[in-house]
Amino acid sequence: MAFEQRDGTDYLYRRIGSVGKSLGPRSVDSEQMLYRFKASRDQNKTRLQKLSENLNTQAAILRSLGAGRMPIIPARILRELRIHGRQTGLRVIGTNALYAYEALASVVFEEGATATGDIHLLQNDRRRLRLLTEDKTFTGLAKLIQDKVDRSFQARNKRDCRLTNNNGYMVELIRPEPRPAWKKMAGTEPPIEGDLVGVPIMGLQ
């Protein structure tokens, strides 16, 4: 939210991505609205930072007690997706999904059953992936993971389906193969240019 000039007059605008909405010309009320917005934003950023620090501390304690089952990298990825993309429709499939079963059923799988070096994210390709930063601007899945989880994650090329970090851990974005296979789906377009694009897999419909 900020003032923007139009025809010599300042107007207060709220923007989400490239879409802006005018909240009226500069006035005492609009200036107070902007002040409250900035104060609330700063307060939320501080609160989020403290909560993240507390979560990291608790995670370290749980790991030392052997109670933190999910590895730190996929856990942090899922936490950021929950914060920045609550309606993305992404689902965890494969080995990492077993941790959810453990929590729901109060059971523990053998260590070999949960050993993995990657996480598979299944995308609902009927709609485009949407991720928002704290400033309400659109971001990509790769950039979100690089900025919030581990900067060493890199794709092999633009529009890749996979990220790999310096330790060899992989994040793979997949989607159901459409029927017919050449059908154009909204989810085939990445949220930002050059971001990850889910690879179609048969049998996931």
Q: 69 to each of 35, 64, 141, 185, how far by Cα in Å?
A: 43, 11, 24, 36
Pairing of strands 118-122, 138-139: unpaired
Contacts of 173 (CB under 8 A, 6+ apart): 121, 123, 141, 161, 162, 196, 197, 198, 199
d(CA 171, CA 158): 15
pLDDT value for 124: 87
User: Per-residue pLDDT averaged across 22-37, rounded?
Assistant: 92
pLDDT value for 65: 47
Provide the number of structural domains found in the chain: 2
Residue at which a domain ends, from 68, 87, 122? 68
Residue at which a domain ends, from 68, 92, 119? 68
* Residue 108 pLDDT > 50: yes
Domain that holds residue 183: 71-205
User: Per-residue pLDDT averaged across 125-148, rounded?
Assistant: 89
Domain check: are 87 and 3 in the same one?
no
Residue at which a domain ends, from 39, 68, 97? 68
Domain check: are 115 and 174 in the same one?
yes
Structure tokens given for 71 = 């590895």
d(CA 169, CA 5): 47
Residue spans of alpha helices (H) in 66-155:
72-84, 98-105, 141-148
User: Which amino acid, one-letter code, is at 20?
Assistant: G
Domain check: are 83 and 151 in the same one?
yes
**More confident position, 166 or 52:** 166
Domain check: are 2 and 96 in the same one?
no
Task: Specify the range with the lowest mean pLDDT, choosing from 101-105, 120-124, 154-158.
Answer: 101-105
pLDDT value for 62: 58
* pLDDT 10s digits, 145-174: 999 999 999 999 988 999 999 999 999 999
User: Per-residue pLDDT averaged across 43-55, rounded?
Assistant: 80
The per-residue pLDDT of the chain, averaged, comes to 85
Domain check: are 58 and 76 in the same one?
no
d(CA 145, CA 37): 27
Domain check: are 83 and 25 in the same one?
no
Domain check: are 61 and 87 in the same one?
no
The percentage of residues in the chain with a pLDDT greater than 70, rounded to a whole number, is 93
pLDDT value for 68: 57
User: Per-residue pLDDT averaged across 36-52, rounded?
Assistant: 85
Domain check: are 91 and 177 in the same one?
yes
Helix (H, G, I), strand (E, B) or coil at 19: strand
User: Per-residue pLDDT averaged across 108-130, rounded?
Assistant: 84
pLDDT value for 119: 94
pLDDT value for 122: 93
Contacts of 5 (CB under 8 A, 6+ apart): 11
pLDDT band (50, 70, 90) for residue 10: very high
* Residue 128 pLDDT > 90: no
pLDDT value for 12: 92
pLDDT band (50, 70, 90) for residue 60: low
Beta bridge partners of 163: 155, 171
